[in-house]
Each structure stands twice: as C-alpha cells, then as structure tokens.
Structure 1
Amino acid sequence: MAEEISYATVVFKNGVQPPKEKKEDDTVYATVQVATLPSKTPNVEAAAESRYFYLLLVSLVILCVLLVTCIAAIISICVLMANRAETFSAALSNLTLVKQQLIMERNLLENQTEKLLRDIDNLNWTLGIILKHDTFPVNEFCPDKQCQPCRKQWIHFQEKCYWFDERPPSWKTWDQSQRLCKDKCADLVVIDSQQEQEFIGLHTKEYYTRNHGYWMGLRKNDEGKLLWVDGRNVTLGFWSKDSDRSEPCVSFIPVENITANWRTRSCSMQNKFICETAVLIRTSVH
C-alpha cells in the first residue's frame, strides 16, 4: 500500500564509518540492497487457497452429480431396454405359437381337402359303375340299405369283384361265358399279377375231368394273336409246361401247378367260367 514504509539495511563501502548527522533532517543514502518481501500477507494467501479449494469442491460436487445422473440415465435405459426385450420376446413367443397353430390348421385343411378329393373321386367311380347297369341291382349291392363293394355271391379282392360259376352242370362255351358275364356288367377274368393268379387258384377246384377248367378272358384274335378281352396284350403268363397253345381260347386248369396252369382249348368246349368287374366302392385310390 502507499502508506506502508519499507525498511532496508544500509551498508557503506570501503569501511568508511558514517559521519554523524549534523542535523536531523539530513539523510545520507548509499547503495541499498532491499530484501524482497512477500507481496501478500498470510491472510490473503489463506483466503486464496480457501477459494481454490471451494471451487475445486464445487467442481467435484457438480461432477459427482453429473456422474450420478449419467449412471441413473444408463440404468433407466438398461431397464427400459430389458423391458422392451422381454416384451419383444413374449411377442415373438406368441407369434411362434400363432404360426404353429396356423401350420396345424393348414395341415388339417390340406388333409381335409385331400380326403374330400378322394371322396369325390370315389363317388365319381361309384357313379360310373352304377351307370354301366341298365337297371342297377340295388338289393344285391346294398342289402339292408348298406352298400358293399361287391354284390351278393361275389368275392372281393384288390378292388375287383369275382364270380366263380359253380352252378349245377350247365357249362358254357367261351362265347356263352363272356355273354353271361356281360349280362352282369362284367367280363371274363383278366389276370394281371401273380397275387391274382394265386387268389383264383384258391377259389377253383377240379371237376369232371382233369382237362376241364375255367374260362378266362383271353383268346386269339382273327390274326392269331392272344389278347385279353379289354384289348391288352399278354405281358404276364402262367402257362402249363406242355401247353402247345394251338387252340384259340384259354382256360384255367385248377389241378395243375398254381403258377403254371393255363392251357388253350377249343372255344366250343364247355367249361365253367370266372367273371370279373370293378368294385362299386373303392377302399383306396391308386
């Protein structure tokens, strides 16, 4: 401050003693070395330090508040995200269940559609069989109003019906036999497999002589070629080993080997016969 007085130590060079003052007002100056004194007092320094620490403390408090706020915000965001994730997971599970339910319903509808198509196909099949008859024999096919695949006295096997002529001796020629089968909306039997051959073998038996058998729907045409009554060529045969196949019509001989018993006979020979027709009601779709 302006009013403060600074004191210094005066040192005289060359060892000269300072002269005595003659007057109080006279002052002798010499080279003066002044010791630097602190510019501030201890109270001022303490106040400055206090202010510094106060500002530091306030800054730390503000930083702590900001840190706590950030942590709280992060926790809130995490909780929100967790809740949303749980919500999405639940929604995904529900959608998965809905998808599975829809797939089950679709499969059920597909199965029902397939069943309906099979039913329609089978009904059309049945209608076709009925329309083959000029007068449909309802009582023979549907006794007690419950329709069966085959009419009375016919045997059902692999979607076909068979009638084995076992009436008292009134055997028929090949042409007569085919005509009687036609009257029943059928044809003489056409054998398509070994299973069918064996089935017929189980339902035929020897009668009269060993040369007699059952007429089949197989005979030679005008060109001497063997054809089934439906016009197909013979692709599978169960011929007797010593059959010369010289005659035009073919019969099934029950006394011989069940897989080798076809023989040609004169079409005028009188034999029993086997009629075959499709079932009225199919149990499966091929």
Structure 2
Amino acid sequence: MCCHLLHLNIVSVVINQQKANLSYLTAENQQLITNRNILERETEELRSVTDNLNWTLKVILTFNTFPVNDFCPNKSCQPCQTGWHLFQEKCYLFYNEKSPWKTWQDSQTYCKNTAADLVVVDTLHEQEFISNHTEFYYDKFHGYWLGLHEKQNNWVWVDGRNDTLRYWLKDQIGDRGPCALVIPGRNSTASWDPEGCIMQNKFICERDVLIRSN
C-alpha cells in the first residue's frame, strides 16, 4: 500500500512537472509568435521606407539641378515645390503668366525644363481636379494645353499611350488642329478642344511627387 501511494505521488509529481513544462513551452511559443509578428511588421515598415527613399531619389535624378529651396523651405521637404499643386501622387503647375503664352511644343519644352511633362489625364477625378484649377482668360477659344496630340489619326499622350477618355467638346469652337486644349468653365467630360499647335495658350505641367504618403 505504501509503495502504491509512493508510486502515485511520483506519477503526480511527474504529471505536474510535465504540465508546468507544457505551460512554459506554450508561453515560449506564444512569445516567439509575437516576436515574429513584430519582426515581420518592422521588416514591412523598413521595406516601405526603402521604397519611398528610392522613389524620392528617382524624382531627384530627373532634375539637372535639383531646386532644394523650392522643395525644402526651412529644411522641411514637401511633396511638391512652391507654386505647384498636389493631387494624389502627382504635382501640377498651372501656367498662368501674362501674354505672350506658349505654343504646344514650347509648353512641352517648358515642362521638360522643370523635369515634368505636359499633363497626361488618366481618370475622371484627375480631369475634375484640372477643371477646378483652370480659369477663363482672354476669350472662349483659349485654354490650357494638355499633353495630348494627334499622331497618325490617333490621339496620343506624351507618355506614348493612346487616349481612351475622349473628353472632347460637343461643339468645336475653333479651327480643328492636332493638339489638345482643355477649355475652362466647361463640363469636365466635355471640355477638350483640338486646336492648331502653334496657337499660344497657357498650359499644365505634371510630374511625380517628391515624397509619397504611406
């Protein structure tokens, strides 16, 4: 009887020890899972920071001379330089200088000299943004040059893509030409006008933001 009780006590001690070991291992395993999740999150954050830094470097390298003071006044950098407007991950310059304005090609050259291009419209939201930032000037025939021109009977953006939006005016207001204007004050989905490329107009430049939001 005594031996039997002793055996039971030993078994009980062993079971309790195994339970304690199991509890310890379970806690250790949970801690490892927590540490792994933290490491994965930190790795993803580091990857995001690296991607954003690479993006910023890519934008900086598009400039012949990067205008630090325009982008980083008071040593605090911003997505767009002074005088440009931010929309999503793009910066826009609405050229609103007084006459003389510029031909389509001179407008594109001006944009290129600022590490940008004439604007390429990708979505209705972008078109609405543009419409909200253009204003009537001079007469109903004048507007803002877009980065859209006719090439071999197709309307092509300056990045090489064919236009699929076709936000043309319902009624043409001038002589038809191979370069596209957006006419201020018109319906967003019916405001583009095909004009002669040597006509002098205001224009819109577009480039990537310097700093992306996370």
What's the TM-score once normalised by structure 1's chain length?
Answer: 0.71
Identity of aligned residues (%): 50
| Equivalent position of 2:127 in the other structure | 197
Q: Aligned partners of 2:94 and 2:165: how far apart in 1?
A: 22
Q: Which one of 67, 73, 82 corresponds to residue 137 of structure 1?
A: 67
Q: Which one of 154, 169, 175 corresponds to residue 225 of structure 1?
A: 154
* Consecutive unaligned residues in structure 2, runs of 5 or more: none
Report the 3-state secondary structure (helix = DSSP H, G, I; strand = E; otherwise coil) of the residue aligned with 1:171: coil
Q: Which one of 162, 175, 178 corresponds to residue 92 of structure 2?
A: 162
Native 8 Å contact 1:161 1:276 kept in 2: yes
Q: CA deviation at 1:224?
A: 2.8
Report the 3-state secondary structure (helix = DSSP H, G, I; strand = E; otherwise coil) of the residue aligned with 1:220: strand
Q: Of Structure 1 and Structure 2, which has the larger fraction of its residues in strand?
A: 2
| Equivalent position of 1:272 in the other structure | 202
Q: Which one of 109, 114, 118 corresponds to residue 44 of structure 2?
A: 114
Is 1:124 aligned with 2:62? Answer: no
Query: CA offsets per residue over residues 261-280 of structure 1, 9 Å max, x none?
Result: 11111111111100000011
Native 8 Å contact 2:176 2:196 kept in 1: no
Q: Which one of 145, 165, 186 corresponds to residue 236 of structure 1?
A: 165
Give, as a single letter, the amino acid of the residue that structure 1 aligns with 2:40: E
Native 8 Å contact 2:107 2:145 kept in 1: yes
Q: Aligned partners of 1:255 and 1:123: how far apart in 2?
A: 39
Give, as a single letter, the amino acid of the residue that structure 1 aligns with 2:169: S
Structural mapping, 1:1-286, within 5 Å:
69=1, 72-221=2-151, 223-243=152-172, 246-284=176-214
Alignment root-mean-square deviation, CA: 1.6
Q: Aligned partners of 1:214 and 1:274: how far apart in 2?
A: 6
Give, as a single letter, the amino acid of the residue that structure 2 aligns with 1:183: N
Number of residues of Structure 1 aligned to a counterpart in Structure 2 = 213
Report the 3-state secondary structure (helix = DSSP H, G, I; strand = E; otherwise coil) of the residue aligned with 2:101: coil
Q: Aligned partners of 1:150 and 1:165: how far apart in 2?
A: 15
Report the 3-state secondary structure (helix = DSSP H, G, I; strand = E; otherwise coil) of the residue aligned with 1:129: helix
Q: Aligned partners of 1:74 and 1:209: how far apart in 2?
A: 109
Give, as a single letter, the amino acid of the residue that structure 1 aligns with 2:100: S
Greater Cα radius of gyration, structure 1 or 2: 1
**Runs of 4+ with >3 A deviation:** 243-246
Q: CA deviation at 1:162?
A: 0.4
Q: CA deviation at 1:135?
A: 0.9
Report the 3-state secondary structure (helix = DSSP H, G, I; strand = E; otherwise coil) of the residue aligned with 2:27: helix
Report the 3-state secondary structure (helix = DSSP H, G, I; strand = E; otherwise coil) of the residue aligned with 1:144: helix
Report the 3-state secondary structure (helix = DSSP H, G, I; strand = E; otherwise coil) of the residue aligned with 2:39: helix
Q: Aligned partners of 1:282 and 1:207: how far apart in 2?
A: 34
Q: Which has the higher contact order (CA 8 A, sep 6+)?
A: 2
What's the TM-score once normalised by structure 2's chain length?
Answer: 0.94
Q: CA deviation at 1:122?
A: 1.4
Query: CA offsets per residue over residues 215-272 of structure 1, 9 Å max, x none?
Result: 0000012x23211001111122322223499420011111211222111111111111
Give, as a single letter, the amino acid of the residue that structure 1 aligns with 2:164: T
